[in-house]
Chains A and B, each alone.
Chain A
Amino acid sequence: MNEVKNNFLQVGKSKIKVDGQALVTGQPVFVGDFIIPGMLWAKVLWSPHAHARIKKIDTSKAEKLPGVKAVLTYKDVPRIPFTTAGQGAPEPSPYDSFILDNKVRFVGDRVAAVAAETEEIANEALKLIKVDYEILEPLLDPKNSRKKNAPVIHDEKEARMPLPLAYQPKKNICAHIDIKIGDAEKALKESDYVIEHEYDIHYAQHTPIETHISTAYFDVHGRMVILTSTQVPFHVRRIVARALNIPVQKIRVIKPRIGGGFGGKQEVLIEPLVAALAMKTNQAVCLKYTRSEEFVSSRCRHPQIINLKTGVKKDGTFSAIDMRIVQNNGAYGSHSLTILCNTGSKILPLFKCKNVIFDGDVVYTNLPVCGAYRGYGATEGYFAMGIQLDEMAEKIGVDIVEWSKKIHILVGETSPVFAALGEGVEGVEQSISSCGLDKCIELGAKEINWYQKRRKKQTGRFRRGVGMTIMMQGSSIPEIDMGAAFMKMNEDGSFNLLIGATDLGTGSDTIMAQIAAEVLATETDKMIVYSSDTDLTPFDVGAYASSTTYLSGQAVIKTAQKVKEQILKVASEMLKEPLENLKAEHSTVFGKTGKVTFSEIANYSLYTKHQHQIMASDSHITHKSPPPFSAHFAEVEVDTLTGKVRVIKYVAAVDCGTAINPISAEGQTEGAVLNGLSYALCERYIFNEKGRMLNPNFDNYKIFSTADLPEIKTILVPTYEPTGPFGAKSVSEIGINGPCPVIANAIYDAVGARLYNAPFTPDKVLAAIKSLGNKFL
């Protein structure tokens, strides 16, 4: 089923975003644009210590400061453990967080919070809070977390895992996984070629241009409304209810437009605190993170130390893959187990291999907290795998491009890893029903001019090289994720489409409108989309796991089909023709003898006869998570004198099934690629010896800007995924996984030096070249 069906009228076409006009004219659409009369401003006192217990905290002076309305410490909030990870219930992340605690676990952890009439007063009040700390030994190296005498970061008795999974806080282990398929140890011994290496991949921040922001207030009935920049409004409602011990019924969560998320806002990070301040003051309260707070006190990408060993036979087939990981989660266990699992489940099934070991510990340290970040573990894993593949191809004497075509999973094939590894629990068996990876490899190689540029002998200061890798991701979490939609018809033939799916800037509102319009045989602009309001829209798990198009799109299809049936039924009555005579096209129902427009049908159903509202709703869960596939290629130029790497050209060829809105699919790919390049080459956290991040601003934590932009070429390779809406799979995450291995491989092609430690800053590149000694000519 790889044929391409492109006789669509609404999907597969580049459409302007349904929210585009509001965004481009700067209308009030973001949380910070809504000022509620009398609203207070919140500020948080952050821990200056990596690990300490609060012995005494005196807030009396702060409370007396005029304009201060509330000061909260751990004494003022319920002692209910929860996880900030915005996942389905029960979450596969440990309950190791409190709204405020009497212990601080990293520099930037919360100590107290203030709500005051102005931000200035709130900041003044923070200075008046006196804290007496018992300073504890900090644990700053993830390699030391499991040592016998290591300080225990979560020694509180409440810390627990809500699912029956390995959780050993006394050993600083917040998650563990070990999977054995076949006999990898034996297979490695019998392999003709074996490579083993350790790969080190680093901290990074999402840096959405809008930082975390939430406003909580009370409506006329005394219910709490939380206006928040979130990817997971329904999880926010549930987790706030838990953390504050109030009923879900008392909370309404509204997601307006979001200024970027990338996984960072799949975190119920500040909502419980803002809600607690609103309850204490009985007033509206807004908390927004500063840029520096966003770097230090929100969430990061999980650094991993990956030991990867692969064995290959003479014929180029894999005999074994042995991947062992130590993942640093920082001070709290958000997304700990699931990120680790994803490092295995999004990488290992790509390769035809019967013997697999996947083993990992996720450890606590007294460093900033990690969470979901686009790529979600796959980015980390492909860094190791992508480099090792390149190294292996060289070792066995084949071209990596040609070899890549031979080792990957094909349509109709399955991998035992799918069933063995899920999101914290066992996975779901699946076979591949669409795969355009060969075409991705072929078109990408052509676009980068691979065979002319690879392995060029060069001398001189500036040397160029090309590198590539292949990858896959998933589309939603099978048997777990659920999305739902509701739709009703209006007099003019327009439709309200209410969805739980959360557009975080990705354009999913537009994609859902296209899907609905395609089913109904109408125009995309006939859809009035409203998403993510827990009072008004049906449930959806939210925007994560590359799920929205694939999962929520199917809920929209089912809903629209039901609406269409009702439209046809009314048309049948109006035209006095049986249903089988009728066909909907261009917002009109045609019979054999006549036709009625959607508008006429809506008016008839609302006002004329057998009056009723044409409306429907439906939900969808998936039983598969079909992978999108991609091949990435890059050409770089290395300055061998300074070690600086310049990307000349980057090619991302991606099979996302049917691209519902091609311009959006390209935009997702380009955004992911540039973020990945920036991560590969310059983004990094610099800590001092006490665990303090030293560079929490854009001057010292460099992210790519237009001046750094190389030529980027996106190639959409259409396939048809039979389980997806109109053949679609996901596209949003996969693109970020390529740049780290691809750039490392291109640097090797240019100068002959391998880099195993990201990012590839000039100092590391230079050191790698120097380590070649006489071999570098």
Chain B
Amino acid sequence: MKIETFINEEKKKLNIKGYTEPLLDVLRRHGYIGAKEGCRQGQCGACVVLINGLAVNSCIYPAGRTSGKKITTIEGLGKPNNLDKIQQAYLETGAVQCGYCTPGMVLSTKSLLDKNPMPKDEEIKLALDGNLCRCTGYVKIIDAVKLAAKKLQGKK
């Protein structure tokens, strides 16, 4: 079946194998490979994308439900040599090691900061709790979110 969505603010027609086909597979098939597969059970957050601004695990999200909705993938943020502020903050704080969890982590950060521009540590920890990272120990990821908040406020 075909559905119409807005991906990164562009109108897109997607071919899906059925209403319940995981959004992750549909996105990757259509070239949005920034969302990664880590568990296929909605438990690790590597596949996080935003739907109408809300972070969801695309590996268990039925693609059919995105009809008419706005999807934001990591491709909708910055590009190399033109990074978005959150991405810049992740690099500057050393929050990226292997990078496999990073797209999902960055999008969860965006979802948080869009709603709560200056979150407290505990709020950051809760917002990112669904995104697993095995490399960093999260310390520098929390730093990245705080730096990103400052950058977005024009303070750094």
Chain A residue nearest to B32 (CB atoms) is A26
**Chain A window 674-687, contacts with chain B (Cβ cutoff 8 Å), 1 for yes, 0 for no:** 11000000000000
**Are A670 and B91 touching (Cβ within 8 A)?**
no
> Are A24 and B99 within 8 A (Cβ)?
yes
Determine if B132 is an interface residue (Cβ-Cβ < 8 Å).
yes
B151 at the A/B interface (Cβ < 8 Å)? no
Q: A209-B38, A210-B36 are in contact. Are A26 and B103 (CB under 8 A)?
A: yes
Given contacts A16-B91, A21-B80, contact A671 B137 (CB under 8 A): yes
Whether A698 contacts B44 by the Cβ 8 Å rule is yes
User: In the bound complex, what is the Cα–Cα distance between A672 and B97 (angstroms)?
Assistant: 12
Q: Is A28 an interface residue (CB 8 A)?
A: yes
* Residue A206 interfacial (CB < 8 Å): yes
Q: How far is the CA of A377 from the CA of B36 in the complex (A)?
A: 32
Check B134–A207 contact: CB distance below 8 A: yes
Contact B43 A25 (CB under 8 A): no
Contact in complex: A21, B81 (CB < 8 Å): yes
Contacts of B128 in A (CB 8 A): 705-706
The docked-state distance in angstroms from the alpha carbon of A19 to that of B83 is: 13
Contact with A along B117-139 (1 / 0, CB 8 A): 00000001110111111111111
Most buried by B among A32, A259, A706, A707: A706
CB pair A14–B94 under 8 Å, yes or no, is yes
State the CA gap A507–B46 with chains docked (Å). Answer: 20
Q: Which of B76-96 contact A (CB under 8 A)?
A: 77-81, 83, 87, 90-94, 96
Known contacts A209-B38, A209-B46, A666-B140: A26-B98 contact under CB 8 Å: no
Cross-interface CB contact of A25 among B77, B131, B134, cutoff 8 Å: B77
Nearest Cβ on chain B to A118's Cβ, whole angstroms: 10
When chains A and B are docked, how far (Å) is the Cα of A666 from the Cα of B136?
9
Assess whether B100 is in contact with A210, with CB atoms less than 8 Å apart.
Answer: yes
User: Is A23 interfacial (CB-CB < 8 Å)?
Assistant: yes
Interface size on B, residues (CB 8 A): 54
User: Mask for A687-727, Cβ within 8 A of B = 1, else 0?
Assistant: 00000000001110001111101001010000000000000
The chain A residue sitting closest to B89, CB to CB, is A24
Decide if B132 touches A703 in the complex (CB within 8 Å).
Answer: yes
Chain A, 362-419, CB within 8 A of any chain B CB:
none
Residues 275-298 of A, flagged 1 when their CB comes within 8 A of B and 0 if not, give 000000000000010110000000
Q: Which of B34, B38, B41, B129 contacts A26 (CB 8 A)?
A: B34
Residues in B neighbouring A712, C-beta threshold 8 A: 137, 139
CB closest chain-A residue, reference B106: A24
B141 an interface residue at 8 Å Cβ cutoff? yes
For B90, what are the chain A residues with a Cβ–Cβ distance below 8 Å? 24
Chain B 24-49 interface residues, beta-carbon cutoff 8 Å to A: 33-41, 43-44, 46
Q: How extensive is the interface on chain A, given as a class?
A: 35 or more
- Rounded to whole angstroms, the CA-CA distance of A22 and B139 in the bound complex is 22
Q: For B126, list chain A residues within 8 Å (CB).
A: 706-707
Residues facing B in A291-349 (CB within 8 A) are 291
Is residue B73 contacting chain A, with contact meaning CB distance below 8 A?
A: yes
> Is A3 in contact with chain B by the CB < 8 A criterion?
no
| CB nearest to B80 among chain A residues | A21
Q: Mark B54-73, 1 if CB is under 8 A from A, else 0.
A: 00000000000000000001
Chain B residues lying within 8 Å of A16, measured Cβ to Cβ, are 91-92
The 8 Å CB contact of B39, one of A30, A667, A698, is: A698
Which among A208, A209, A672 has the highest number of chain B CB atoms within 10 Å?
A: A209
Does B75 belong to the interface (CB within 8 Å)? yes
- Give Cα distance in the complex from A669 to B135, angstroms: 10
Inter-chain contact B134/A671, CB cutoff 8 Å: yes
- A470 and B140 CA atoms in complex are apart in Å by 25
A residues 189-243 touching B (CB-CB < 8 Å) = 206-211
B75 CB contacts on chain A under 8 angstroms: 25-26
Complex: A505 Cα to B99 Cα, angstroms: 7
- A706 and B97 within 8 A (CB): no
Interface flag for A257 (CB, 8 Å): yes
- A26 lies within 8 A of B35 (CB): yes
Q: Which residues of A contact B125 (CB under 8 A)?
A: 706-707, 709
Report the Cα distance A699→B130, complex, angstroms.
11
How far, in angstroms, from A32 to B132 measured CA to CA in the complex?
A: 19
- Bound-complex Cα distance A32 to B103 (A): 15
- Is A505 a contact of B138 with CB atoms below 8 Å? no
- Least Cβ–Cβ distance between B18 and chain A, in angstroms: 12
* Contact indicator A29/B99 (Cβ below 8 Å): yes
User: Given A25, A208, A504, A506, which contacts B74 in the complex, CB threshold below 8 Å?
Assistant: A25
What is the minimal beta-carbon distance from B143 to any residue of chain A, in angstroms? Answer: 10
Alpha-carbon separation in the docked complex, A17 to B94 (Å): 8
Please indicate the chain A residues that have their CB under 8 angstroms from the CB of B136 in the complex.
Answer: 667, 670-671
What residue in chain A is nearest B141 (Cβ atoms)? A706
B111 at the interface (CB under 8 A from A): no
Q: Would B79 and A674 count as touching, CB distance under 8 A? A: no
Complex Cα distance, B145 from A362, in Å, reads 45
Which one of A24, A210, A704 has the greatest number of beta carbons of chain B within 10 Å?
Answer: A24
A20 within 8 A of B: yes
Let me know if B137 and A26 touch, CB within 8 A.
no
Check if A23 sits within 8 Å of B43, measured CB to CB.
no
- Interface flag for A673 (CB, 8 Å): yes
A7 contacts the other chain (CB 8 A): no
**Residues of B contacting A507 with CB < 8 Å?**
97
- Tell which of A22, A262, A666 touches B80, judged by Cβ atoms closer than 8 Å: A22
Interface check B142, CB cutoff 8 A: yes
Q: Report yes or no: A27 in contact with B94, Cβ–Cβ below 8 A.
A: no
In the A-B complex, the 3 residue pairs with the closest CB atoms: A26-B34, A505-B98, A23-B99
Other than the known A259-B98, A672-B137, what 12 A-B pairs have Cβ atoms closer than 8 Å?
A24-B78, A30-B36, A209-B100, A259-B99, A505-B97, A663-B93, A663-B94, A664-B94, A667-B137, A670-B140, A674-B139, A675-B137
Q: What are 24 A-B interface contacts by the 8 Å CB criterion?
A: A21-B91, A24-B96, A25-B77, A25-B78, A25-B79, A25-B87, A30-B36, A206-B134, A208-B134, A209-B98, A210-B36, A260-B97, A261-B98, A291-B39, A291-B41, A505-B98, A666-B94, A671-B97, A674-B137, A697-B41, A703-B132, A705-B138, A706-B142, A709-B139
